[in-house]
Chain A
Amino acid sequence: MPDTKIMDAKGIARSINRIAYEILEHNRGAKEMVIVGIRTRGAFLAERLARAIKKIEKVTLPVGAIDITMYRDDVQIRLDQPIIQNSDLMFSITDKVVILVDDVLYTGRTVRAALNVLTDFGRSKSIQLAVLVDRGLQELPIRADYVAIKLQTFHGENVIVNLKEKDREDSVVLQQLNGEQLR
Chain B
Amino acid sequence: MRSPHLITLEELTADEIYLFLDTAVTLKEILSRPIKKVPTLRHITVLNLFYEPSTRTKISFELAEKRLSADSVSFAKATSSVVKGETLLDTVWNIEAMKIDMVVIRHAVSGTPLFLTRTCSSKIINAGDGAHEHPTQGLLDIFTMREKYGKIKGLRVAIIGDIKHSRVARSNIWGLKALGASVAVCGPTTLLPIEIEKMGVEVFTRIEAALEGADVVNVLRLQKERQSAGLLPSLREYSNRFCITRERLKYLNKDFTIMHPGPMNRGVEISSEVADGPDSVILPQVTNGVAVRMAVLYLLSGGVGTIE
Contacts and interface: CB of A to CB of B under 8 A. Distances in A.
Interface of A: 67, 69-72, 75-76, 78-87, 116, 120-122
From B1, B37, B39, B304, name the one whose CB has the most chain A CB atoms within 10 angstroms: B39
A126 B186 CA distance: 60
Contacts of A120: 33-35, 37-38
- Overall SS of chain B's interface: loop
A70 B40 contact: yes
B298 interface: yes
B40 A83 contact: no
A27 B38 CA distance: 31
B302 A79 contact: yes
Given A84-B23, A120-B33, A79 B38 contact: no
B156 to A, nearest CB: 30
A80 B26 contact: no
Interface string B85-112: 0000000000000000000000000000
From B40, B68, B303, name the one whose CB has the most chain A CB atoms within 10 angstroms: B40
A70 B302 contact: no
A80 B307 CA distance: 8
A122 B33 CA distance: 10
Interface string B282-308: 000000000000000011011111101
B39 A80 contact: no
B299 A116 contact: no
B29 A78 contact: no
Contacts of A70: 30, 38-40, 68, 298
Nearest to A120: B35
A86 B29 contact: yes
B27 interface: yes
Contacts of B308: 80, 82-83
Contact of B298 (A67, A76, A79, A81): A81
From A79, A80, A87, name the one whose CB has the most chain B CB atoms within 10 angstroms: A80
A6 to B, nearest CB: 28
B31 to A, nearest CB: 12
Contacts of B33: 120-121
B10 to A, nearest CB: 23
Contacts of B299: 81
B43 interface: yes
A71 B25 CA distance: 17
From A70, A75, A80, name the one whose CB has the most chain B CB atoms within 10 angstroms: A70
B41 interface: yes
A80 B29 contact: no
Contacts of A121: 33-35
A85 B30 CA distance: 12
Contacts of B35: 120-121
Contacts of A72: 40
Given A120-B35, A121-B34, A75 B27 contact: no
A2 B215 CA distance: 58
B91 to A, nearest CB: 27
Contacts of B298: 70, 81, 84
Minimum-distance CB pairs A-B, first 3: A81-B302, A80-B305, A79-B303
B302 A84 contact: no
A78 B301 CA distance: 10
A69 to B, nearest CB: 8
Contacts of B305: 79-80
Contact of A80 (B22, B23, B38, B306): B306
A81 B299 CA distance: 6
27 contacts: A67-B26, A70-B40, A70-B298, A71-B38, A71-B39, A71-B40, A72-B40, A75-B40, A75-B43, A75-B301, A75-B302, A78-B303, A79-B302, A79-B304, A80-B302, A80-B306, A81-B298, A81-B299, A81-B302, A85-B26, A86-B26, A86-B29, A87-B29, A116-B39, A120-B34, A120-B37, A121-B34
Contacts of B41: 75
Given A67-B26, A75-B41, A81-B298, A122 B303 contact: no
A84 B298 CA distance: 10
B38 A81 contact: no
B29 to A, nearest CB: 6
Given A70-B39, A81-B298, A83-B308, 13 more contacts: A70-B30, A71-B39, A75-B43, A78-B302, A78-B303, A79-B303, A80-B305, A84-B27, A85-B26, A87-B26, A120-B33, A120-B35, A122-B34
